[in-house]
Amino acid sequence: MKTVLLCGGFGTRIRDVADDIPKPLIKVGAMPILWHLLGYYASFDFCNFVLCLGYKSETVVDFFRNQDGELKLIKSETNELTSYEYAGLINGKDCLVTLVDTGLDAMTGARLRKVQRLIGNETFMLSYGDGLSDVNLNELVKHHQSQKKLLTVTGVRPPSRFGELQVDDSNSVTGFNEKPQASGGRISGGFFVCEPKVFEYLGPNDDLVFEKEPIQAIVHDSQMTMYPHDEFWQCMDTYRDWELLNQMLKNGKAPWVRS
Protein backbone atom coordinates (compact mmCIF):
# COMPACT_ATOMS: atom_id res chain seq x y z
CA MET A 1 0.00 0.00 0.00
CA LYS A 2 1.41 3.39 -0.98
CA THR A 3 1.54 6.39 1.33
CA VAL A 4 1.03 9.90 -0.06
CA LEU A 5 2.46 12.76 2.00
CA LEU A 6 1.47 16.36 1.32
CA CYS A 7 4.71 18.37 1.60
CA GLY A 8 4.17 21.41 -0.61
CA GLY A 9 2.88 24.19 1.63
CA PHE A 10 4.69 27.40 2.53
CA GLY A 11 4.62 26.87 6.31
CA THR A 12 4.16 30.59 6.98
CA ARG A 13 3.30 30.13 10.67
CA ILE A 14 6.66 28.59 11.52
CA ARG A 15 8.97 30.99 9.67
CA ASP A 16 10.59 31.95 12.98
CA VAL A 17 12.22 28.49 12.97
CA ALA A 18 13.29 28.41 9.31
CA ASP A 19 12.25 30.40 6.28
CA ASP A 20 14.59 29.00 3.64
CA ILE A 21 13.29 25.41 3.58
CA PRO A 22 9.82 23.83 3.43
CA LYS A 23 8.34 22.87 6.77
CA PRO A 24 8.79 19.08 6.33
CA LEU A 25 12.57 19.66 6.25
CA ILE A 26 12.65 21.45 9.60
CA LYS A 27 14.65 19.27 11.96
CA VAL A 28 13.41 17.48 15.02
CA GLY A 29 16.68 16.46 16.58
CA ALA A 30 19.23 15.65 13.90
CA MET A 31 16.78 14.84 11.08
CA PRO A 32 13.82 16.57 9.39
CA ILE A 33 10.33 15.87 10.69
CA LEU A 34 9.64 14.29 7.29
CA TRP A 35 12.31 11.65 7.94
CA HIS A 36 10.74 10.85 11.32
CA LEU A 37 7.36 10.43 9.63
CA LEU A 38 8.74 8.17 6.90
CA GLY A 39 10.47 6.10 9.55
CA TYR A 40 7.23 5.75 11.49
CA TYR A 41 5.33 4.44 8.46
CA ALA A 42 8.25 2.16 7.60
CA SER A 43 8.14 0.65 11.11
CA PHE A 44 4.70 -0.72 10.14
CA ASP A 45 6.11 -1.93 6.79
CA PHE A 46 4.49 0.84 4.78
CA CYS A 47 7.59 1.54 2.72
CA ASN A 48 6.36 2.94 -0.61
CA PHE A 49 5.92 6.71 -0.53
CA VAL A 50 4.78 9.48 -2.85
CA LEU A 51 5.75 12.98 -1.71
CA CYS A 52 3.75 15.88 -3.15
CA LEU A 53 6.25 18.74 -3.23
CA GLY A 54 5.78 22.45 -3.92
CA TYR A 55 7.53 25.25 -2.03
CA LYS A 56 11.30 24.91 -2.49
CA SER A 57 10.85 21.37 -3.81
CA GLU A 58 14.49 21.29 -4.90
CA THR A 59 15.60 21.38 -1.25
CA VAL A 60 13.69 18.17 -0.52
CA VAL A 61 15.27 16.53 -3.57
CA ASP A 62 18.71 17.71 -2.38
CA PHE A 63 18.06 16.22 1.06
CA PHE A 64 17.42 12.78 -0.44
CA ARG A 65 20.37 13.20 -2.79
CA ASN A 66 22.58 13.49 0.30
CA GLN A 67 21.25 10.32 1.93
CA ASP A 68 22.85 6.89 1.54
CA GLY A 69 20.36 5.54 -1.00
CA GLU A 70 20.08 6.04 -4.76
CA LEU A 71 18.25 8.99 -6.30
CA LYS A 72 17.30 9.07 -9.97
CA LEU A 73 15.26 11.31 -12.22
CA ILE A 74 12.07 9.81 -13.64
CA LYS A 75 11.33 10.75 -17.23
CA SER A 76 7.57 11.15 -17.56
CA GLU A 77 5.94 10.18 -20.83
CA THR A 78 3.84 13.33 -20.69
CA ASN A 79 6.53 15.58 -19.17
CA GLU A 80 3.84 17.04 -16.92
CA LEU A 81 5.64 16.74 -13.60
CA THR A 82 9.27 16.61 -12.51
CA SER A 83 9.73 13.44 -10.47
CA TYR A 84 12.56 11.59 -8.75
CA GLU A 85 12.80 8.18 -7.14
CA TYR A 86 14.83 7.51 -4.02
CA ALA A 87 15.60 3.93 -2.99
CA GLY A 88 17.30 3.35 0.34
CA LEU A 89 17.01 2.34 3.97
CA ILE A 90 14.70 4.31 6.24
CA ASN A 91 14.45 3.12 9.83
CA GLY A 92 16.18 -0.08 8.74
CA LYS A 93 13.62 -0.86 6.03
CA ASP A 94 14.07 -0.84 2.25
CA CYS A 95 11.95 2.06 1.06
CA LEU A 96 11.01 3.64 -2.25
CA VAL A 97 10.22 7.35 -2.18
CA THR A 98 8.83 9.10 -5.26
CA LEU A 99 9.27 12.88 -5.11
CA VAL A 100 6.86 14.81 -7.32
CA ASP A 101 6.88 18.57 -7.89
CA THR A 102 3.14 19.26 -7.87
CA GLY A 103 3.53 23.02 -8.33
CA LEU A 104 4.24 26.02 -6.16
CA ASP A 105 0.67 27.26 -5.75
CA ALA A 106 -1.36 24.05 -5.90
CA MET A 107 -3.58 23.32 -2.91
CA THR A 108 -3.93 19.95 -1.20
CA GLY A 109 -6.68 18.55 -3.43
CA ALA A 110 -4.83 19.53 -6.58
CA ARG A 111 -1.57 18.02 -5.31
CA LEU A 112 -3.33 14.73 -4.60
CA ARG A 113 -5.03 14.69 -8.01
CA LYS A 114 -1.70 15.24 -9.76
CA VAL A 115 -0.22 12.01 -8.37
CA GLN A 116 -3.21 9.81 -9.23
CA ARG A 117 -1.29 7.99 -11.95
CA LEU A 118 1.29 6.93 -9.36
CA ILE A 119 -1.38 5.47 -7.08
CA GLY A 120 -3.41 3.58 -9.64
CA ASN A 121 -6.52 1.67 -8.62
CA GLU A 122 -5.39 0.76 -5.12
CA THR A 123 -6.18 1.71 -1.53
CA PHE A 124 -3.61 4.20 -0.23
CA MET A 125 -2.56 6.09 2.89
CA LEU A 126 -2.53 9.89 3.00
CA SER A 127 -1.15 12.37 5.51
CA TYR A 128 0.75 15.61 5.97
CA GLY A 129 4.51 16.05 6.14
CA ASP A 130 4.45 18.10 9.35
CA GLY A 131 2.72 16.02 12.02
CA LEU A 132 3.67 13.06 14.21
CA SER A 133 1.64 10.51 16.14
CA ASP A 134 1.76 7.04 17.65
CA VAL A 135 -1.43 5.92 15.90
CA ASN A 136 -1.42 2.19 15.19
CA LEU A 137 -1.37 2.19 11.39
CA ASN A 138 -2.27 -1.49 11.15
CA GLU A 139 -5.38 -0.96 13.26
CA LEU A 140 -6.20 2.16 11.25
CA VAL A 141 -6.19 0.12 8.04
CA LYS A 142 -8.26 -2.66 9.65
CA HIS A 143 -10.84 -0.09 10.73
CA HIS A 144 -10.96 1.33 7.23
CA GLN A 145 -11.45 -2.09 5.67
CA SER A 146 -14.19 -3.04 8.14
CA GLN A 147 -16.19 0.16 7.51
CA LYS A 148 -16.16 -0.19 3.72
CA LYS A 149 -16.11 3.56 3.11
CA LEU A 150 -14.09 5.61 0.64
CA LEU A 151 -12.22 7.62 3.25
CA THR A 152 -11.09 7.13 6.84
CA VAL A 153 -9.64 9.96 8.93
CA THR A 154 -7.84 9.65 12.25
CA GLY A 155 -9.76 11.70 14.81
CA VAL A 156 -7.61 13.10 17.63
CA ARG A 157 -8.04 15.23 20.72
CA PRO A 158 -5.23 17.77 20.40
CA PRO A 159 -3.30 19.02 23.41
CA SER A 160 -4.41 22.42 24.61
CA ARG A 161 -2.08 25.36 24.02
CA PHE A 162 -2.99 26.84 27.40
CA GLY A 163 -2.65 25.72 31.00
CA GLU A 164 -5.83 24.28 32.49
CA LEU A 165 -6.94 25.48 35.93
CA GLN A 166 -9.17 23.66 38.37
CA VAL A 167 -10.75 25.96 40.97
CA ASP A 168 -13.22 25.64 43.83
CA ASP A 169 -16.20 27.86 44.63
CA SER A 170 -13.97 30.47 46.27
CA ASN A 171 -11.69 30.60 43.22
CA SER A 172 -8.84 28.86 45.02
CA VAL A 173 -6.80 26.89 42.52
CA THR A 174 -7.08 23.17 43.27
CA GLY A 175 -5.20 21.89 40.24
CA PHE A 176 -3.12 22.99 37.29
CA ASN A 177 -2.24 21.01 34.17
CA GLU A 178 0.28 22.72 31.90
CA LYS A 179 -0.50 20.74 28.73
CA PRO A 180 -3.87 19.03 29.12
CA GLN A 181 -5.51 17.05 26.37
CA ALA A 182 -8.50 18.85 24.93
CA SER A 183 -11.72 17.38 26.29
CA GLY A 184 -13.96 18.69 23.53
CA GLY A 185 -14.64 17.30 20.09
CA ARG A 186 -12.10 15.59 17.90
CA ILE A 187 -10.26 17.17 15.00
CA SER A 188 -8.67 15.63 11.94
CA GLY A 189 -5.17 14.42 12.74
CA GLY A 190 -4.48 13.49 9.14
CA PHE A 191 -3.39 9.85 8.79
CA PHE A 192 -6.08 9.02 6.24
CA VAL A 193 -6.80 5.79 4.42
CA CYS A 194 -8.35 6.31 0.97
CA GLU A 195 -9.98 4.25 -1.72
CA PRO A 196 -9.08 5.22 -5.30
CA LYS A 197 -12.64 6.44 -5.91
CA VAL A 198 -11.67 9.46 -3.80
CA PHE A 199 -10.08 10.81 -6.98
CA GLU A 200 -13.57 11.14 -8.51
CA TYR A 201 -14.20 13.97 -6.03
CA LEU A 202 -11.17 15.97 -7.14
CA GLY A 203 -11.82 18.65 -9.73
CA PRO A 204 -9.26 20.10 -12.18
CA ASN A 205 -8.56 23.44 -10.49
CA ASP A 206 -5.23 24.17 -8.76
CA ASP A 207 -6.96 25.95 -5.85
CA LEU A 208 -8.83 22.80 -4.85
CA VAL A 209 -8.50 22.22 -1.09
CA PHE A 210 -8.99 18.54 -0.26
CA GLU A 211 -10.30 19.35 3.22
CA LYS A 212 -13.11 21.53 1.81
CA GLU A 213 -15.32 20.63 -1.16
CA PRO A 214 -14.00 17.09 -1.77
CA ILE A 215 -14.28 15.91 1.83
CA GLN A 216 -17.59 17.73 2.28
CA ALA A 217 -18.95 15.88 -0.75
CA ILE A 218 -17.60 12.56 0.54
CA VAL A 219 -19.31 13.22 3.89
CA HIS A 220 -22.54 14.16 2.08
CA ASP A 221 -22.42 10.79 0.32
CA SER A 222 -21.93 8.99 3.67
CA GLN A 223 -18.56 7.66 2.52
CA MET A 224 -16.30 8.82 5.36
CA THR A 225 -15.50 7.19 8.68
CA MET A 226 -13.33 8.14 11.65
CA TYR A 227 -10.72 6.10 13.47
CA PRO A 228 -10.51 7.49 17.04
CA HIS A 229 -7.04 7.96 18.49
CA ASP A 230 -6.66 9.13 22.08
CA GLU A 231 -2.91 8.85 22.52
CA PHE A 232 -0.08 11.01 21.17
CA TRP A 233 -0.58 13.36 18.24
CA GLN A 234 1.26 16.61 17.57
CA CYS A 235 1.37 18.89 14.55
CA MET A 236 4.27 21.29 14.00
CA ASP A 237 2.56 24.57 13.15
CA THR A 238 4.42 26.95 15.44
CA TYR A 239 7.75 27.53 17.14
CA ARG A 240 6.25 26.19 20.36
CA ASP A 241 5.22 22.96 18.61
CA TRP A 242 8.72 22.56 17.18
CA GLU A 243 10.27 23.19 20.58
CA LEU A 244 7.99 20.61 22.21
CA LEU A 245 8.81 17.88 19.69
CA ASN A 246 12.53 18.52 20.04
CA GLN A 247 12.31 18.41 23.83
CA MET A 248 10.39 15.13 23.73
CA LEU A 249 13.04 13.58 21.50
CA LYS A 250 15.88 14.93 23.65
CA ASN A 251 14.28 13.48 26.79
CA GLY A 252 13.79 10.07 25.21
CA LYS A 253 10.01 10.44 25.35
CA ALA A 254 9.16 10.47 21.63
CA PRO A 255 6.18 8.12 21.09
CA TRP A 256 6.63 8.20 17.30
CA VAL A 257 10.07 6.57 17.47
CA ARG A 258 9.73 2.85 16.72
CA SER A 259 12.23 0.27 15.55
Which pLDDT tens digit goes with each residue over 136-161? 999 999 999 999 999 999 999 877 65
Which sequence spans correspond to the domains of the chain? 2-250
Count other Cβ atoms within 10 Å, centred on residue 51: 29
160: Cβ–Cβ under 8 A, 6 or more apart, which residues?
179, 180, 181, 182
**Exposed, middle or buried, 53 (CB in 10 Å: 0-12/13-18/19+)?**
buried
CA distance 36 to 31: 7
pTM: 0.90
- Comparison of pLDDT for 135 and 10, the residue scoring more: 135
Summarised one tens digit per residue, pLDDT across range 32-72 is 999 999 999 999 999 999 999 999 999 999 999 999 999 99
CA distance 62 to 53: 13
Query: What integer best gives the mean pLDDT of the chain?
Result: 90
Q: DSSP state, 207?
A: T
Looking at domain 2-250, its CATH superfamily turns out to be Spore Coat Polysaccharide Biosynthesis Protein SpsA; Chain A (3.90.550.10)
Summarised one tens digit per residue, pLDDT across range 181-223 is 655 578 999 999 999 999 999 999 999 999 999 999 999 999 9
Summarised one tens digit per residue, pLDDT across range 109-141 is 999 999 999 999 999 999 999 999 999 999 999
